[in-house]
């Protein structure tokens, strides 16, 4: 094989760039491995103390007062329950809303609306970027809106109505005095993940070949039948993956949830969605692991972080797997 006509500097820089790039890429793996390893190590004392029983032992989160020697006891089920309930509830709301918005932007919205004969606007071109702006809203600001706008509104209007009509069902039973609840947290999470699902599913719906849609309509299908019969089945796995990505965000959101979820640590799982609760992420955010009361409390917080890590990784891998299925179909 003939040597390539490169001078020595070029050859050296080539190799240097290659090493630099692959090194940076390697850093990614190192960072991921370090995150997993460090969280496990950090949780060590709690793992030693409670073992897997941490996942099932219902308990208060009561770190002892400074200097006291009472036995400490921590457990995760309350927070796992909060995470599962809030994220699934918000997933249901935001799938319906997000997919609807995606359908509107990609299919339903008229291409162009003429206003007063001169102004022509495209609704999708106008609303699409607004939805993306909603996705960019910082979570502390959403938390603020949650506390100062959504909670009072829920407390005065939504909660009493739902309670009055459906109060005989346990999950709608009691309402909490300030409005902080798992339900309120789900509402705030919904605002967070609707734009994610909407933007992703809009892109999917727009990619459905026009001929397929035209074919359906030519056969006499109504708009909705075309959507249900053609658009949704074709994009099903892609939309599911988008929802899983949204779910991943909901599971891990700490700040906005912490503000509105109520944070009641009575060690009891309430059936009612309208009572306060806590999620894994909000519990970590509310109890700064950098300055724990005792070592064991800090380790238990890391244990919660480890559980959260497992939840999130499973969601991401599931999303990837489903999306891969989608890509394979399209090829």
Partner 1 sequence: MSALTPDPAHALSASGNLARRQLISRIFVSGTVLACGLAVVVLAILILYCAVNGASKLSFAFLFGGAPGIGPDIVGTAELALIAVLIALPIGVLTALALAEFASARLARAFQVALELMAGLPPVLLGVFVVILIVKHWHQSALAGGVAMALLEMPLIAATTLQALRSVPEPMRNGAEALGVARWRTIVGLVLPAVSGAILTATILATARAAGDAALVIFTAGPDFAASSVQIDPTQGIPNLAQHLFTLLDTGQAAAAWSAAFVLMVIILAANIAARVLLTRNNRKLGL
Q: Please give the residues from 204 up to 223 whose contact with partner 1 meets the rule CB under 8 A.
A: 209, 212, 216, 219-223
The stretch near partner 1 (CB under 8 A) out of 49-57, 62-70, 113-121, 254-262 is 254-262
Place of tokens 């299908």: 221
108 scored as a contact of partner 1 (CB under 8 A): yes
HSE (side-chain half, CA atoms, 13 Å) at 8? 0
Residues between 78 and 97 that touch partner 1 (CB under 8 A): 96-97
The stretch near partner 1 (CB under 8 A) out of 26-34, 69-77, 112-120, 159-167 is 26-34
24 scored as a contact of partner 1 (CB under 8 A): yes
Please, which residues have CB within 8 angstroms of residue 298's CB and are 6 or more apart in sequence? Answer: 42, 289, 292
Residues between 256 and 275 that touch partner 1 (CB under 8 A): 259
Nearer to partner 1, 16 or 165 (CB): 16
CA distance 73 to 54: 10
Single out the residue of 112, 120, 228, 327 in contact with partner 1 (rule: CB under 8 A). Answer: 228
Nearer to partner 1, 131 or 185 (CB): 131
* Residue 179 region by backbone torsions, left for phi larger than 0, else alpha for psi between -120 and 50, else beta: left
Nearer to partner 1, 37 or 169 (CB): 37
Place of tokens 């001078």: 7
Place of tokens 């026009």: 210
Work out how close the CB of 28 gets to partner 1 at its nearest, in angstroms, rounded to a whole number: 5
CB 245 within 8 A of CB 319: yes
HSE (side-chain half, CA atoms, 13 Å) at 274? 25
Q: Which two tokens stand for residue 77?
A: 């089920």
Nearer to partner 1, 47 or 103 (CB): 103
113 scored as a contact of partner 1 (CB under 8 A): no
Nearer to partner 1, 90 or 272 (CB): 90
CA distance 93 to 121: 30
Work out how close the CB of 271 gets to partner 1 at its nearest, in angstroms, rounded to a whole number: 27
Residues between 279 and 308 that touch partner 1 (CB under 8 A): 281, 284-285, 288-290, 301-302, 305, 308
Indicate the Cα dihedral angle 227, 231, 237, 238, nearest 10°: -110
Nearer to partner 1, 53 or 125 (CB): 125
Of 291, 310, 295, 279, the closest CA to residue 48 belongs to 295
CA distance 183 to 272: 9
Residues between 129 and 158 that touch partner 1 (CB under 8 A): 129-134, 136-145, 147-149
Work out how close the CB of 179 gets to partner 1 at its nearest, in angstroms, rounded to a whole number: 15
The stretch near partner 1 (CB under 8 A) out of 8-16, 58-66, 157-165, 166-174 is 8-16
Work out how close the CB of 8 gets to partner 1 at its nearest, in angstroms, rounded to a whole number: 11
Work out how close the CB of 143 gets to partner 1 at its nearest, in angstroms, rounded to a whole number: 6
CB 290 within 8 A of CB 219: no
HSE (side-chain half, CA atoms, 13 Å) at 78? 23
Nearer to partner 1, 199 or 270 (CB): 199
Residues between 153 and 182 that touch partner 1 (CB under 8 A): none
Work out how close the CB of 128 gets to partner 1 at its nearest, in angstroms, rounded to a whole number: 10
First to last CA, the chain: 38
């Amino acid at each position: 094989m003939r040597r390539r006509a490169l001078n020595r500097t070029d050859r050296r820089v080539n190799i240097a760039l290659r090493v630099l790039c692959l090194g940076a890429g390697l850093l990614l793996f190192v960072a991921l491995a370090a995150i997993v390893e460090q969280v496990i190590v950090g949780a060590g004392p709690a793992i030693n103390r409670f073992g897997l029983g941490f996942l099932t032992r219902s308990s208060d989160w009561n770190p002892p007062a400074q200097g006291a020697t009472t036995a400490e006891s921590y457990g995760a089920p309350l927070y796992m329950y909060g995470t599962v309930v809030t994220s699934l509830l918000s997933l249901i709301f935001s799938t319906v809303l997000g997919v609807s918005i995606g359908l509107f932007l990609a299919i339903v919205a008229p291409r162009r609306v003429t206003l007063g004969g001169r102004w022509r606007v495209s609704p999708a071109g106008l609303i699409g970027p607004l939805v993306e702006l909603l996705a960019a809203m910082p979570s502390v600001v959403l938390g603020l809106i949650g506390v100062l706008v959504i909670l009072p509104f829920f407390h005065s209007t939504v909660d009493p109505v739902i309670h009055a009509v459906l109060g005989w069902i346990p999950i709608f039973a009691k309402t909490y005095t300030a409005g902080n609840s798992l339900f309120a947290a789900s509402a705030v999470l919904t605002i967070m993940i609707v734009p994610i699902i909407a933007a992703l599913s809009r892109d999917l719906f727009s990619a459905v070949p026009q001929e397929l849609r035209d074919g359906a309509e030519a056969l006499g299908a109504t708009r909705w039948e075309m959507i249900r019969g053609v658009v949704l089945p074709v994009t099903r796995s892609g939309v599911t993956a988008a929802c899983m990505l949204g779910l991943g965000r909901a599971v891990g959101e700490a700040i906005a949830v912490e503000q509105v979820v109520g944070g009641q640590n009575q060690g009891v799982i309430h059936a009612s969605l309208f009572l306060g609760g806590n999620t894994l992420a909000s519990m970590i955010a509310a109890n700064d692991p950098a300055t724990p009361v005792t070592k064991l409390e800090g380790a238990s917080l890391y244990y919660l972080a480890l559980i959260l890590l497992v939840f999130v990784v499973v969601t991401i891998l599931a999303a990837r797997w489903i999306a891969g299925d989608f890509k394979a179909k399209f090829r």
